Amino acid sequence: SENPTALIMIFGATGDLAKRKLFPSLYRLFKRGKLSERYCIIGVARRELTNSAFQESVRQSIEEAEGHHDDLNEFITHFYYHSHDVTDSSSYLALKTLANDLDTHYQLEGNRIFYLAMAPEFFGTIADHLKSDGLTDVDGFKRLVIEKPFGHDLPSAIELNNRLRQAFAEEEVYRIDHYLGKEMVQNIEVIRFANAIFEPLWNNRYISNIQVTSSEVLGVEERGRYYENSGALRDMVQNHMLQMVALLAMEPPIKLTDEEIRSEKVKVFRALKSLEGEAVKENFVRGQYGPSNKNNEPINGYRQEPMVKADSNTETFVAGKLIIDNFRWAGVPIFIRTGKKMATKSTKIVVQFKDIPMNLYYQHEKTLNPNLLVIHIQPDEGISLYLNAQKSGDTMNATPVKLNFSNNSVDHMNTPEAYERLLYDCMRGDATNFAHWDEVALSWSFVDKISQVWENQQAEQFPNYEAGTMGPKAADELLEKDGFHWWPVE
Ligand code: NAD
């Protein structure tokens, strides 16, 4: 069938996200024949720009990401610019006229996608005006794509959501969690539900624990001002980490539709055991990186970064033990950890299987290694399975062997980027890989109870991990209490 057509309006079209991700992704969709021949993009931002200057900036950002291509000349003629301060009410009518004209010119069937690639404080205002000034009065579909963060806590998320929902129905709101656009995050479902050797084992009888790590090497860079009010819990755990946990823990959906999948994910969030007071201290660890001077290379601690308070109480690292209180997962801890200025950049999931009931083999007096299934999300993409086998000539001993599938060998131009998939899904009206309001609300209510404890008590021990390491000692002790340890994520 033909690709759906729509007018795409990008608010914040001179910003970093538009340039680095959205324009290159649109071009890649075009290259792959996944964009309708009738397409049109309006860039909206505050700066004064002519259409042709805007088109040149679009060309430049695509060339930076994708190199030079002859068809770019034609591609960028479909881009238009509207200079507009989103807080200025008088400017929306001109935007509406432009949109209606282009709708007619390109025969876009009255389909509209509004992509808000701007600071979240503007989301509500823009949505109000889109409705009150009639930009959402269309014959076709209307969809709102909204970047993170979705609120700062549950009350502010509710307020934002109520406001957006005056203009858009829930099924018209596409809340971006770009982790859900990643190839290997989408693969969690396939690995689980398309393999006879995993699904029967995917429960508390055979799995001992699951570990989800997302570590960054970079610090806060220039984002100190934002990060001081956010911290790792809000920036990473509320959205990306809990989304991965939901995909790992959900029941098989009845069908692979967005409604069915999201309803199973919501049940995971509902089963997530809520932590309060002392339980927060027992099950969650916060960290903040301090300076380091390895190999005589001085690295700033978090408190030395620009726009960060000298006695900052903000966490740059979180480790936690999650309990999913349901039949499948009772007794199986799911450990998560994420942080900045860690030793490696890596997002990985390790599923550790229980030991077999009786061990007949010894490996130099040591016990057997457990079976591990490792899902590599980024930068490597792939799956590894650790088994025990006999090495040739070495009788009666079992040695760990690793079966490896790497997705990285696939030509890079051919693996779609997260934003490319998400844009395409939105155009097709498939909301599977976006966060539903119920998921957002439940994950905020989980996270808020932890923030309350942490915000009410200055972390005396900060900074508590050296830049360039895998986090504070307490994060290791969290697993040791249960007889586990973090598997390395080299
Ligand atoms: P940015 O600061 O680079 O760009 C902001 C854009 O908004 C610019 O085009 C600016 O002209 C425009 N703008 C600001 N005030 C305006 C006004 N009053 N009227 C009209 N236009 C105005 O921001 P960004 O990094 O592109 O981020 C945008 C959103 O995407 C944020 O919500 C951010 O959290 C989210 N996000 C960004 C990234 C990224 O890689 N940059 C990743 C994930 C999420």
pLDDT means per 10 residues, the chain with 490 residues, are 89 97 96 92 97 98 95 97 93 96 97 97 96 96 96 98 98 97 95 95 98 97 94 98 98 95 98 96 98 90 97 98 98 98 97 88 72 95 92 77 82 72 96 97 98 96 97 98 91
For the chain, counts of helices (H) and of strands (E): 16, 16
Using the 8-state DSSP alphabet, how is residue 137 labeled?
Answer: -
C-beta 13 within 6 A of ligand 1: yes
Ligand 1 center–CA 16 separation, angstroms: 7
pLDDT of residue 328: 98
pLDDT of residue 367: 75
pLDDT of residue 342: 97
Instruction: Collect all residues with Cβ–Cβ distance below 8 Å to 161 and sequence separation of at least 6.
Output: 150, 151, 437, 440, 441
Task: Identify residue 237 by its one-letter amino acid code.
Answer: V
- Distance CA(336)–CA(204), nearest Å, equals 18
**Could you give the maximum distance between any two Cα atoms of the chain, in Å?**
82
pLDDT of residue 16: 95
pLDDT of residue 361: 77
Alpha helices in 22-171 (DSSP H): 23-31, 51-66, 72-75, 92-106, 123-132, 154-167
The values of phi and psi at residue 187, to 5°, are: -75, -20
Residue listed under structure tokens 């599923």: 351
Neighbours of 139 (CB within 10 A): 10
Atom of ligand 1 nearest to the CA of 21: 40
> How many residues are listed for the chain in this entry?
490
pLDDT of residue 296: 87
pLDDT of residue 269: 98
pLDDT of residue 127: 97
How do beta strands 40-45 and 284-287 pair? unpaired
Handedness of CA 238, 343, 287, 350 (dihedral sign): positive
Q: Whose C-alpha lies nearest to ligand 1, atom 6? A: 12
Using the 8-state DSSP alphabet, how is residue 254 labeled?
Answer: S
- Distance CA(53)–CA(299), nearest Å, equals 40
- E strands in 105-246: 112-116, 142-146, 173-175, 207-215
C-beta 125 within 6 A of ligand 1: no
C-beta 131 within 6 A of ligand 1: no
Atom of ligand 1 nearest to the CA of 18: 26
Active site residue 240: yes
Given the residues 82, 84, 152, 240, the one annotated as active site? 240
Closest CA to 131 of 150, 157, 112: 112
Ligand 1 center–CA 17 separation, angstroms: 7
Beta bridge pairs of residue 210: 334, 351
Ligand 1 center–CA 11 separation, angstroms: 8
pTM here is 0.96
CA 164 and chain centroid, separation:
21
* Three-state DSSP state, 83: strand
